[in-house]
Structure 1
Amino acid sequence: MSSKKKFTTNSLRQSTIEVSTNGRMDIYHSIVAMSWWGYLAVFAVVFLLVNALFGCLYYIDESSIGGLTSTAYSEYFFFSVQTLATIGYGAKFPQTLYADVLVTVEAMIGLLGLGLFAAIAFARLSIPRSRIIFSKVAVVTAYEGQPTLMFRVANERNNRIIGAEVELSLLMRETTAEGLSIRRIYDLDLVRSHTPMLSLTWLVFHPIREGSPLFGMSAQSIDNADFALIATIKGLDETISQTVHANHTYASTDIKWHHKFKDMFTEDATTGQASIDLTRIHDVQTT
């Protein structure tokens, strides 16, 4: 049975979109995408629930397990824990056919379940994650005699990203001649879209000249426009030799006209060594 699912995008002023789903949840993707604390919580809950279930099944026949110090439910629960985790201290043991069948089933579930969770943990660890940050705002200022849109990107890790490529797209709501409201994507030209090595920061330029979708817009018209700028970057992490990527969305209110970015570099007066302060990547000033 199909159903409808609502989610919120971070573009076009936090639009809420309703889409149709087939009623099934992608459990694997959800577990891989969740935080580590969430993953550990899911593992703990599943582990405890399975042991609680089998503890109840053992408890139904109090004579099924030998070597117990009492007939309390906790004894059967912790016997289930030892069986599921294949610990087997030897003090408690099944002594009926009913218990043997339950132990067999639980041992199979334990081997499969623990192997599955271990595989998912390995899959989570093997996913390359970038530490690329974007400036929270983009600025529009004069550059080589024409208005230019700029934003900054930096690598937070103490390594290099080889062959980094950046793209900038404009997502804008438009109305066709037939009165149909659509969202159209424009690819914006950049002064430089590729750098052989990203180790510090990168100031990305889009000249607002004739042919640009932003050409002719003013600060007021941009504030009133319904669009979003989507910046994406990808490259090869030299440490793990895998492709990493990141993206950021700028709403129309995130564009600062007649501003420029503050300098992030400082130089030691004695040694002449330059350093960069990544905490200032978002800092701007008026021109």
Structure 2
Amino acid sequence: MSAIRRKFGEDYQVVNTNRSMTFSAPVKKKRQRFVEKNGRCNVQHGNLGSETSRYISDLFTTLVDLKWRWNLLIFILTYTVAWLVMASMWWVIAYIRGDLSYGGHNSSYTPCVANVYNFPSAFLFFIETEATIGYGHRYITEKCPEGIILFLFQSLLGSIVDAFLIGCMFIKMSQPKKRAETLMFSQDAVISQRDGKLCLMFRVGNLRNSHMVSAQIRCKLIKVRSSQTAPHPSFSQQYGCQWVVYSSSAST
């Protein structure tokens, strides 16, 4: 089959025969859609180079464009790792100062953080401080300058992480990507004359009860245009964009 394609090209008809000498109908080549019925463009980007670094350089937009399962996974992992790291830092301060050996039994000793005896208590102290719960059982004393510095660093880091992740989730939830699910298009389109000109006509319906104010519909007409200089057929659009479509991918 590949040899036949190289010799005769793609526009050939294949006729199969069997023992009864009956001929089957010619196989019609299915043309791929440029835009799927759900609105997704059937375009694959290729030969861009260093795609990973480009996505990382625009990390916020990359997180917004990810699927929900990856967003939730990154959200949970980021907070879990941050909590464990900060709780470990509080535990290290208590370990270096020797607060863990007293265990709260010596009333004359003033620890860095009161009632922090092990890692679980250090983790609970961090959660109570970060979430501003403030039970009052665990607190920083005035004789711990390193704890005060760590508390300031924890507050700044927590504000940055909250602003980044919560902002990302808020923008992702506010995007009207699913709004197109309630906009229905007619299954068939009609070409008819209006004022002496051929017009493409179709219907658009809104399933929601809310009215659309100042609604605008923009259509694109994509047609194949052959060129003597270009090795591949190009798709010309009305808005000045030219799509060069290859056999397996498309790029602009």
TM tier, shorter chain? 0.5 to 0.7
Q: CA deviation at 1:76?
A: 1.6
**Residue correspondence of structure 1 range 1-287 to structure 2 within 5 A:** 11=34, 14-18=42-46, 19-21=48-50, 23-24=53-54, 25=56, 26-34=58-66, 39-61=71-93, 62=95, 63=99, 64-68=112-116, 70-71=117-118, 73-95=119-141, 96-124=144-172, 127=175, 130-131=179-180, 132-135=182-185, 138-139=187-188, 143=192, 150-187=201-238
Which structure would you say has the larger RCO, counting Cα contacts within 8 Å and 6 or more residues apart? 1
* C-alpha contact 1:139 1:151 (8 A) present in aligned 2: yes
Distance 2:147 2:75 in 1: 25
Percentage identity across paired residues of the two chains: 17
Q: CA deviation at 1:138?
A: 4.9
Amino acid at match of 1:90: G
Number of residue pairs aligned between Structure 1 and Structure 2 = 178
1:181 is paired with a residue whose SS is coil
Alpha-carbon RMSD? 3.8
* C-alpha contact 1:134 1:151 (8 A) present in aligned 2: no
Distance 1:27 1:179 in 2: 36
Distance 2:199 2:188 in 1: 8
Aligned to 2:107: none
Q: CA deviation at 1:158?
A: 0.9
1:16 is paired with a residue whose SS is coil
State the TM-score, normalized to the length of structure 1.
0.49
Unaligned runs of 5+ in 2: 1-32, 37-41, 100-111, 240-246, 248-252
Larger Rg: 2
Unaligned runs of 5+ in 1: 1-9, 189-225, 227-287
Amino acid at match of 1:54: M
Distance 1:103 1:163, change over 3 A: closer
Q: CA deviation at 1:162?
A: 2.4
State the TM-score, normalized to the length of structure 2.
0.54
Distance 1:28 1:167 in 2: 29
* C-alpha contact 2:189 2:200 (8 A) present in aligned 1: yes
Q: CA deviation at 1:105?
A: 0.7
Distance 1:127 1:12 in 2: 21
Q: CA deviation at 1:42?
A: 3.3
Distance 1:28 1:184, change over 3 A: same
Distance 1:162 1:30, change over 3 A: same
Distance 1:54 1:74, change over 3 A: same
Distance 2:89 2:120 in 1: 13
2:236 is paired with a residue whose SS is strand
Distance 2:152 2:184 in 1: 54
Q: CA deviation at 1:55?
A: 1.3
1:66 is paired with a residue whose SS is coil
Superposed structure 1 runs of 4+ greater than 6 Å apart: 144-148
Q: CA deviation at 1:75?
A: 1.9
* C-alpha contact 2:192 2:201 (8 A) present in aligned 1: no
Amino acid at match of 1:164: A
Q: CA deviation at 1:125?
A: 5.7
Distance 1:15 1:173, change over 3 A: farther
1:163 is paired with a residue whose SS is coil
Q: Which moved more, 1:82-91 or 1:50-59?
A: 82-91
Distance 1:179 1:114 in 2: 51
1:165 is paired with a residue whose SS is coil
